[in-house]
Amino acid sequence: MYEKILIATDGSAASMNSSRSGIKLAKSLGSEVLVLYVINEMAISRVIASMIGRGFRQEDLRRALKASAEKVVSEVTKMGEAAGVRVEPIIKEGDPASRILETAEIEGVDLILMGSHGEGGISSKLIGSVAEKVLNWSTAPVMIVR
């Protein structure tokens, strides 16, 4: 059951925590794992806008974001290796919720696992907007780990 689990992460402490749960679950169920990091397009645009005219180079930002994404997915991949779980890393750019849903669809995953909050942090006890969108639109079961 749950042969292909999609773990969505953004590198936040909470989401690394939920990634650990995902790997553990995959190990128990013998599932394959895809780990997805979405570089948030809107966030990039905002940073770029704030840096215009300050001698800032767009490609440096993109390179730094890419490197940070790679670091996160490689951490989860290593968690998988340590547990004997096959993990395929995926990095995309765009709106996080849309890319998560799209990836789940394309890859035919049968469970999406994600944290309740991303980098935006915890506002009271409410779940984050990305988790909410994924919950609202996913046809596959979604597991939210705090």
Q: Which is nearer to a copy of itself, 31 or 39 (CB)?
A: 31
d(CA 119, CA 58): 22
Q: What is the nearest approach in angstroms of a copy of itself to the Cβ of residue 78?
A: 20
Closest approach of a copy of itself to the CB of residue 103, in Å: 18
- Residues 25, 38, 39, 130: which binds a copy of itself (CB under 8 A)? 25
**Is residue 139 part of the contact set for a copy of itself (CB under 8 A)?**
yes
**21 near a copy of itself (CB under 8 A):** yes
Tell me 128's DSSP state: P
Q: What does the alpha-carbon distance between residue 122 and residue 80 come to, in Å, rounded to a whole number? A: 27
DSSP bridge partners of 32: 4
Contact 33, 85 (CB under 8 A): yes
Residue 108 beta carbon to a copy of itself: minimum distance, rounded to whole angstroms: 16
Would you call 92 helix, strand, or coil by DSSP? strand
Contacts of 3 (CB under 8 A, 6+ apart): 31, 32, 110
- Considering only residues 59-88, where is the footprint of a copy of itself by CB under 8 A? none
* Residue 45 engages a copy of itself in binding (rule: CB under 8 A): no
Stretch in the footprint of a copy of itself (CB under 8 A) among 32-40, 45-53, 90-98, 131-139: 131-139
The total of other beta-carbon atoms located within 10 Å of residue 117's CB is 24
Query: Which residues inside 88-117 make contact with a copy of itself, applying CB under 8 A?
Result: 116
Helices 58-83 and 41-51: angle between axes, nearest 10 degrees: 150
Residues in contact with a copy of itself by CB under 8 A are 1-2, 18, 21, 24-25, 28-29, 116, 125-127, 131, 135-146
